[in-house]
Chains A and B, each alone.
Chain A
Amino acid sequence: DAGVTQSPTHLIKTRGQHVTLRCSPISGHKSVSWYQQVLGQGPQFIFQYYEKEERGRGNFPDRFSARQFPNYSSELNVNALLLGDSALYLCASSLEGHRGQEQYFGPGTRLTVT
């Protein structure tokens, strides 16, 4: 069975531009979460989605938004990119997103903002 998939693998954008990152969860998993990992730190929670609804949001500005589709795949959108948005963006899937459920991560999208 395929694990969590993410696209693209790498992306280079200019300050002020917009970016869309994509994630497909493990088959049968209905919850997707997004994390941002900057160099030298652990991943930080951005969003969790379950059944197409946002269930939680971390401490990130409104420039960050996401959505989940009927097939449970998800998109993360970032507007008005800043240099500080350069990071590895990780997607995680779990069965239903409830507390305590094991999460599985995709390979990530490495975003560079110049």
Chain B
Amino acid sequence: GIQVEQSPPDLILQEGANSTLRCNFSDSVNNLQWFHQNPWGQLINLFYIPSGTKQNGRLSATTVATERYSLLYISSSQTTDSGVYFCAVGEISSTLGRLYFGRGTQLTVWP
């Protein structure tokens, strides 16, 4: 199956700072999603972005499919942004909707 690597594994910021999270993947994809996992475990959809750039408020994401990476930008961080951010991809060679997840980036934002 496809390999997904996220970096950095941990990120500690002060409120108001900006950050960039990276996701590298080992093969061509037809699906790429960014999630925020809240303290109760639920995965919240942030972006569905197999290619291109999207923005939603203080968050934006870019996927360069030909170079097999995606970036998640968080601007003006708030304490409520804390949690684990996951990148998940679907491999283009499969007919399934199966997602492969990275190990996540643990973000902590201090007031």
Contacts and interface: CB of A to CB of B under 8 A. Distances in A.
- Same complex for A and B? Answer yes
Interface of A: 31, 33, 35, 37, 40-45, 48, 55-56, 58, 88, 90, 92, 94, 97-108, 110
B45 to A, nearest CB: 6
Given A41-B103, A42-B86, A42-B103, A103 B97 contact: yes
Interface string B12-52: 00000000000000000011010100001111010010100
A71 B45 CA distance: 24
A-B interface, 6 closest residue pairs, ranked by CB to CB distance from nearest: A42-B101, A100-B30, A105-B43, A56-B96, A102-B48, A97-B97
A107 B41 contact: yes
A97 B94 CA distance: 12
Interface size class of B (residues with CB under 8 A): 20 to 34
A42 B6 CA distance: 11
A61 B4 CA distance: 23
A50 to B, nearest CB: 8
Interface in B55-75: none
